[in-house]
Structure 1
Amino acid sequence: MTVVSKDDKNLQQVLDKIAAMDEPRKGIMQRMHDVILAAAPELKPRIWYGMPGYARSASTPVIVFIRNDDLMSLGLSEKATLKPAGGRDGQLIPAAWFFDDLDEVTEKRVTEIVRAAIE
C-alpha cells in the first residue's frame, strides 16, 4: 500500500483544480502556480476557498493565493508580511493584483511579491 502525504494530496487537488479550468486560463494559471513555487519552493499548495492557496505547511494559514473568477488574480492573505514599497496609501496595503496573461516582466513581479510576502 502506497502512503500519500497530506502535502502530496493537497498538491494533487491544486493541480486537478487548475487542470479543470478552460484554456487559455488553464495554461496561465498553471504558469502562475509554477512561478509561485519557483519563487518560494517552501510553500505548500492547497485548495483555499475553492482556489489554489499557498502556505508554509498544511496546518498553517495561506499566505498567497490565486483566483480564477471573472478576473484572474494573485492575492495575499492577512498573514502575508508584504510592506508596500514607497509606504502606505493611507491604511491601504496592496494585497491583490489582476492579470490576464503572464509575460517575463509580470513573472518577475510575481516572484518579488511572493518573496516579500513570506519574509
Structure 2
Amino acid sequence: MAGTKDSGYEGFTAEERAAMKEHAKEQKKAARRASAAEKAAEAERDVLDKIAAMPESDRVMAERVHAVVTAAAPELAPKTWYGMPAYALDGKVVCFFQSAEKFKARYATLGFSDLAKLDDGPMWATGFALTEVTDEVEARIADLVKRAVG
C-alpha cells in the first residue's frame, strides 16, 4: 500500500511521557494557587524540591545554577517546567536546567528558550552541556542569563 511504509517511529520515550505528565501536574498546581506572592513562593519551593531530589552530581550543579540565575537576573521567577528547574519572565520560560538523569543523558544542560535574547547573527547556541559548574562556568552563566533577559 502506498504511504504505509513503516517510518520506525515508536512514540515518546518513557522519560518524555513522564516529563509531559509532570508538566500537566505543574499547570494544575499553579492554577490552584491564590495570590501572586503565594504563587511565587510555592513555585520557588517546587524548584528547590526538584533540585534536592536530583542525584548528587546534578544537584550540586543545579544548586549553583539556581544561585547564579537568581542573582544575575532577579527579574526571572523560578518555576518548574516539565519537571525541571526553570526561570521565567512574565510567566514564560527563558532558561532551564535539565539534569543528566532526567533523560538519561551523559551531561546536564543549561537551555534557553526562543525568548532569550541571545541572538548572534544567523546562528547561535541555545543549549549548553554542563559537566561541572566552576567559577568560570558561573561567570559565563551569569553573562548568558543577563543577555537573555536583555
Please say whether Structure 1 and Structure 2 have the same fold, judged by a TM-score greater than 0.5. yes
Give 1:90-109 correspondences, 5 Å limit.
Answer: 92-109=123-140
For structure 2, the 5+ residue unaligned runs are 1-34
Confirm or deny that 1:19 pairs with 2:55: no
Specify the alignment match of 2:115 in structure 1.
Answer: 79
Q: Secondary structure at the match of 2:98?
A: strand
What value does the CA root-mean-square deviation take over the aligned residues?
1.4
Deviations 1:6-44 (A, max 9, x none): 000100000000000111221111111111111101110
Specify the alignment match of 2:81 in structure 1.
Answer: 48
The separation in 2 between residues aligned to 1:65 and 1:29, in whole angstroms, is 10
Q: Secondary structure at the match of 1:24?
A: helix
Specify the alignment match of 1:68 in structure 2.
Answer: 99
Q: Secondary structure at the match of 1:26?
A: helix
Alignment-mate amino acid for residue 75 of structure 1? G
The separation in 2 between residues aligned to 1:52 and 1:66, in whole angstroms, is 6
The separation in 1 between residues aligned to 2:66 and 2:95, in whole angstroms, is 10
Runs of 4+ in 1 over 4 A off after TM superposition: none
The separation in 2 between residues aligned to 1:54 and 1:103, in whole angstroms, is 21
Deviations 1:91-117 (A, max 9, x none): x32100001111111111101100111
Equivalent residues, number: 110
The separation in 2 between residues aligned to 1:80 and 1:25, in whole angstroms, is 23
Q: Secondary structure at the match of 2:133?
A: coil
Q: TM-score, normalised to structure 2's length?
A: 0.69
The structure showing larger relative contact order (alpha-carbon pairs under 8 Å, at least 6 residues apart) is: 1
Specify the alignment match of 1:31 in structure 2.
Answer: 64
The separation in 2 between residues aligned to 1:99 and 1:22, in whole angstroms, is 15
Q: TM-score, normalised to structure 1's length?
A: 0.86
For structure 1, the 5+ residue unaligned runs are none
Q: Which has the higher helix share?
A: 2
